Amino acid sequence: MSPACGIASSISYFTVYSPSLVLSGEEINRAFGTNILNNKSQRRVANFDEDALTMAWNAASGCLEQTKTVPDHIFLCSNTLPSWPCGAYLLSSLGLSLSTPVTVISGSWNCAFDTLSLAFHTAAAGKNVLLVATEALSKYALSNPEIAFADSSCAILITPDMAGNRHMFKPAGNFYSADTFEPLICNSDGSTKIFDDIRFTTSKVSQGISELLGKIDKPQIFGFSAFDDKISSAVRRLPQLAKSRFIDDPIHTIGFAGCVQPFLVLSMTQMKHGDIIHLCSLGGGARITALSTEFEKFAALPTGQKAALINGFEHFRNIRTFMDKSEPMRSTFTSEIIQSRDQQFLLNLNGIQCKNCNKIYTIPQSICPSCHEQSEFIQKPLERRGTIFTFAHEYYVPTPNPPVTMLVVDLDGGGRLTVQAADCSPDETAIGNKVKFVLRRYHSGNNLPNYFWKAVLL
């Protein structure tokens, strides 16, 4: 991972998105009639209108909003992205040029480290790189409650460091096990298969650590992510790591989020200047990467709404299966032509502004309703925050969490838009509340998705 061109690259910003819904270990044990999990453990799971793409947007938008940086290249890392062209959807919803290169990497839980390596090399070539890792794995919990499947995403902005004084951390080494093995396999039908040999797994991790320690300094901090806490406990007992400080794996607070897990572990690191950290993950081999910090403090910025407990495992099942069950009753039609035509005004969230009176509208007009002149209109990017003007609770719209709250939002900067509310109960909604827009999935038609904006309370 050492850049060949001589320009240093470093992480400038780091955001983590965890969905608001929480499924407790107690509910899982009650549903399956056995003490599978520690009752205190919990899993963060996506709502019915969230998937890997919408969570990727949440993490990426939080990162770009804070840094005001336009990425030259995006690396999208996931094993659970929808089959349609996610790169174009992500670029449009972020308001970025469709000519921005997007590289999608998948195929293993270890694709996180492949993506991190490529991102560092690309940044070392003088590019601003946005790395986004996202997984929607909680659907597998319906068939295998023993694994703490969860949903989460993160975004990391990696930039070239010409001055040499803005490092948070940099790559220090890398190891990949020669013997490929897949300890956990997730099938497209929602079933899972576990390679349950902890001794074999830990021997591969031990082999990787020994080889890596022969090349670089011993780790002061060790982060390990796995789908099974028993494996983590065995790794902690390895003699090579006797003097290392272990980072707590968030498997008990967030769950197992696949290729996002190493970054979740990293987000919990309290590093100080000069620390060396080893991150390890299991997948198609035991993968380890070493990072060293050059900054005084490293911390990730968490994003997402406040936690809300799911009321029972059956409700969780309804949330996970709602989209598949409701699609046949919708008979929604869409096409690539329609989506391309509406892209600027829907995903990009652009409006128009009258040149005569400067009034802003959210849909195209031929005559200005304000000044009644057939004047020229210019395209205007709309703000993604606003104030609730009025609202209504709709009980006939299909949803696993009735009612659906429809909001009329006065946008900051002008314009008015009608959207659905998300992640809030009806009694939390009030006229005058501040909201922001988030990307959510509405439905599909002709096997094409329909994404649009919903509003969450600030």
Question: According to the per-residue pLDDT averaged within each range, which of 80-84, 245-249, 366-370 is highest?
Answer: 366-370
Q: Inform me whether the pLDDT recorded for 31 exceeds 60.
A: yes
- On the question of pLDDT at 316 being above 50, the answer is yes
pLDDT band at 2 (very low <50, low <70, confident <90, very high): very low
Average pLDDT over residues 393-410: 91
Q: Higher model confidence: residue 348 or residue 75?
A: 75
pLDDT at 182 (0 to 100): 59
What mean pLDDT is predicted for residues 387-415? Answer: 92
**For residue 272, what pLDDT is reported?**
65
**pLDDT at site 7:** 58
345 or 380, greater pLDDT: 380
The 10s digit of each residue's pLDDT in 152-199 is 999 998 888 655 544 455 555 555 444 445 567 777 777 777 665 667
Look over the chain and give the mean of its residue pLDDT values, rounded to a whole number.
Answer: 80
Above 70 in pLDDT, residue 443? yes
Q: Which of 114-123, 235-244, 404-413 has the lowest mean pLDDT?
A: 235-244
Residue 249 corresponds to which tokens in the numbers above? 């794996």
347 pLDDT higher than 60:
yes
Section 448-458 average pLDDT: 87
- Percentage of the chain modeled with pLDDT above 70: 74
pLDDT for res 1: 38
Q: Greater confidence, 154 or 443?
A: 154
- Check pLDDT > 60 for residue 298: no
Residue scoring higher pLDDT (128 or 365):
128
- Does 322 or 179 have the greater pLDDT score? 322
Q: Which of 248-262, 337-351, 428-442 has the lowest mean pLDDT?
A: 337-351
- Would you say residue 454 has pLDDT above 90? yes
Domain 331-457 coded CATH 2.40.50.840? yes
Residue 4: the pLDDT is: 41
Q: Is the pLDDT of residue 213 over 70?
A: no
Candidate from 9-23, 287-301, 398-412 with smallest mean pLDDT: 287-301
| pLDDT grade for 365, boundaries at 50, 70 and 90 | confident
The whole-number pLDDT of residue 14 equals: 84
For residues 14-24, give the mean pLDDT.
89
This prediction has a pTM of: 0.88
- Per the CB < 8 A criterion, the answer to whether 355 and 378 are in contact is yes
The pLDDT value given to residue 388: 97
pLDDT value for 140: 86
Residue 50 has what pLDDT? 93
**Sequence spans of domains, the chain:** 8-323, 331-457
Query: Residue 297 above 60 pLDDT?
Result: no
195 vs 51, higher pLDDT: 51
Report the CATH architecture of 8-323: 3-Layer(aba) Sandwich (3.40)
**pLDDT in the model for residue 283:** 61
87-132 pLDDT, tens digit each:
888 998 998 988 999 999 987 777 888 888 888 889 888 899 999 9
pLDDT band at 387 (very low <50, low <70, confident <90, very high): very high
Q: In terms of pLDDT, which residue wins out, 358 or 41?
A: 358
